[in-house]
Amino acid sequence: MRPLPLLAVLGSAVALPAAVMLAACSSSSLRIVQSDSPKPSGMEAVFQGAMIVDDNGCVQARTPANTLVTLVWPRGYSVRGDSKSFEVLDGNKNVVARSGATLAIGGGGADAFQDAWTERDCAGGGKLWMVGKVDTA
């Protein structure tokens, strides 16, 4: 077996930590549950509440009655920011919701967490809401 040149080994040792650090800086530690559908829910009920971040970095919603609800966003949606100030973006990177605002979220409830959804540990055992159209209330 032929030994690798020292420069190649050193280059790999420097490049890997730099790539990991760059990825950590550019990604959010916040998480959202995403369904397996790229389209918002077609259900027409309305949920009112404010988005919050739980201790696990999961974006949830809190009703005026202080009930936690897991929001299930369409596939391709993402979240950016930190636990104090964050935004949810659609698949085209347009902001659809911001923390700190009371929201009226169209959609409807779901009976159970589906296997194809992301972030199962964000469900928290509460109610599930399939996100449709989002408006500020």
Delimit the domains of the chain by residue range: 33-136
The yes/no answer on whether domain 33-136 falls in CATH 2.30.30 is no
Residue 86, SS3?
A: strand
Q: What share of the chain is helix, strand, coil (3-state, %, to 5)?
A: 20, 40, 45
Q: Which residues pair with 79 in a beta bridge?
A: 88
CA distance 126 to 54: 13
Q: What is the pLDDT of residues 82-131, one digit of tens each?
A: 999 999 999 999 999 999 989 999 999 999 999 999 999 999 777 999 99
pTM: 0.78
Residue keyed to tokens 């760059």: 22
Backbone angles phi, psi at 134, to 5 degrees: -115, 130
Q: Which residues pair with 48 in a beta bridge?
A: 104
